[in-house]
Every structure is written in C-alpha cells, then in structure tokens.
Amino acid sequence: MSTTTLSTAEARRPLVTAAALRTFAKGGFHGTTVADVAREAGISPAYVFKLFPSKETLFASALESCFAQVSKALARGADASDDQSPTGILDAMGGAYAELLRDRALLMLQVHALSVAEVEEIGAALRAGIAKVTMFAKDRSHAPDADVQRFIAFGQLCHLIATTHSDDETAEWARIVGSGIRHPS
C-alpha cells in the first residue's frame, strides 16, 4: 500500500486560496495586492506567484472556493428540509444561504467579483459559480425554471439587503425591498 504525499505547493494552495478569499473580500480586486494576500497567508509574494500565475487567477481561485462553500451550504439545507417538495427544498436552501451570509467574506467577495466581471478569468469563474448554484438548485429541487430564477433573484436581493444594511432601516423603501426577507443576525 502506498501513500501519496502532497507537495508543499499542493498543500499550501488551499491555504493561500482561503487567505485570498478573506483579503479580496475586504479590499476588492483593485484594492488588494498579491503582497496583501501573501501577508495574510504568511508566505512571500513570490511563493503566491509560484502557486498562482497572476492576481486574476488568484482571485478566481478564491471565487471558486466561495461558490464551493455556497454549494455545500445549499446541499445541507436541501438535505435537512422536512418538506421535500420543490418549494420546500428551495426555501430550505434559501435559509441555508441566509445563514451562510453571516460570513461577510463570502458575501463581499461575490459583490467585488460582480464589479470586475469584465476581467476574463474573474468573469469566467463568476459565471461558472452562478451556473453551479443555479443548476444545483434546479436539479436538487426539481422546481420549474421560473421558481429557480426567483430563488437566484432572491439571493441577489439578499446581497443587496445585507450589503446596504437596509434590514436595519425603517423607511418605506427598505420595508418594500426587504418584505418577507430576514437574515440571521
């Protein structure tokens, strides 16, 4: 029986990706340097470039990790739902996603990714992540396309509410936008 030992680079890649997720979530793509990510990861910028050939691929890797975490949360929500109807599963996945938004890094990385989606590698990773979430919701819930579209739309509305803190607002516009939507505090 043989054992496989990961190279230092293979072992460090997920750690650097996690550091990139946290760092880019705070400063965005343009406001974060590879040196910032390296500092967060406790390695040199040169080593980051050994693992990731560009800042764009580093951001894309962080975004892929973000969407993997989102997908896992949606799966847990769907699996835990007492109501296995299409609507029940989508509602449970929505609740699981709302819980996940407690991690502001995941939320903010997605927001920052939207602002630089014209960067080829980032736009591709963003579309792949949205595709993964959309198709998981469709395949797991067996809901009609219109219900899946509404699920994705409500997710984006949750982003708007969470990033603007409009759930703390009492004005009529905030009541209208957030009607029926509550995030765990």
In a domain, 185, yes or no: no
In a domain, 117, yes or no: yes
Q: What is the pLDDT along the chain (185 residues), one digit of tens a residue?
A: 555 544 587 788 999 999 999 999 999 999 999 999 999 999 999 999 999 999 999 999 999 999 999 999 999 999 999 999 999 999 999 999 988 888 889 999 999 999 999 999 999 999 999 999 999 999 999 999 999 999 999 899 888 888 888 888 889 998 888 887 766 65
Chain-centre distance for alpha carbon 23: 14
pTM: 0.88
CB 96 within 8 A of CB 69: no
In a domain, 184, yes or no: no
Query: What pLDDT sits at residue 6?
Result: 46
Picking from 137, 54, 35, the residue whose alpha carbon sits closest to that of residue 91 is 137
Sign of CA dihedral 177, 134, 63, 6: positive
Question: Would you state the structure tokens that stand for residue 109, as one six-digit string?
Answer: 């990385």
- Dist. CA 12–CA 143, nearest whole Å: 40
In a domain, 183, yes or no: no
In a domain, 1, yes or no: no
Q: What angle do CA 181, 183, 185 make, to 5 degrees?
A: 150
In a domain, 160, yes or no: yes
- Dist. CA 12–CA 10, nearest whole Å: 6
**DSSP class per residue in 14-25:** HHHHHHHHHHHH
Picking from 166, 133, 138, the residue whose alpha carbon sits closest to that of residue 64 is 133
The residue segments making up the domain with residue 154 are 8-178
CA distances for 7 relative to 12, 39, 48, angstroms: 8, 21, 15
In a domain, 3, yes or no: no
Domain with 101 in it: what CATH number? 1.10.357.10
- Dist. CA 151–CA 93, nearest whole Å: 9
Picking from 91, 70, 87, 78, the residue whose alpha carbon sits closest to that of residue 180 is 91
Question: Would you state the structure tokens that stand for residue 146, as one six-digit string?
Answer: 């219109």
The half-sphere exposure of 95 on its side-chain side, counting CA atoms within 13 A, is 13
Query: What pLDDT sits at residue 179?
Result: 84
As for how many domains the chain has, the answer is: 1
In a domain, 112, yes or no: yes
